[in-house]
Amino acid sequence: MPRQNLTSDTTPLAVIRAVSRLGQNIARARIRRGLRQVDLAKKTGLAPGTLKRIEEGSLTTGLSAYFTVLWALGLEQEFENLAAPDRDEEGKTLELARQPQRVRLKKGLDADF
């Protein structure tokens, strides 16, 4: 299957909005810390253009670049809860529905005590 490029035409609107909001949040955090884009780029090892695309909410910029910037801003705890199993209410409900309804006894009892 050929690789599909993400564009605003092929990406769900909710994803576009979330990535855009993440970029805006990163820009605000950088500004609050008094950092220029070039300073944050040096701290992360990213090219200044990459940092600019992150703050614009680029869909084609790698996830690791976003995480590196969050780390450099001291916000790494924010991505520890991303898709955390304990917060996945739908997944927990589906898992519970697959649980057996009753317990069956094993054939033959153990004499090991």
**pLDDT tens digits along 35-88:** 999 999 999 999 999 999 999 999 999 999 999 999 999 999 888 888 888 889
Number of domains composing the chain: 1
The answer to the question of residue 89 being in a domain is no
pLDDT at 2: 56
The answer to the question of residue 83 being in a domain is no
d(CA 14, CA 2): 24
- Cα radius of gyration rounded to whole Å, the chain: 23
The answer to the question of residue 103 being in a domain is no
d(CA 11, CA 15): 7
For residue 5, give the CATH number of its domain.
1.10.260.40
Residue entry with tokens 């090991």 = 112
Reference 71, options 58, 57, 54; nearest CA is 54
Taking phi first (over 0 means left), then psi (-120 to 50 degrees means alpha), and beta for anything else, what does residue 83 get? left
pLDDT at 57: 96
Domain boundaries, position 50: 1-77
The answer to the question of residue 46 being in a domain is yes
The answer to the question of residue 40 being in a domain is yes
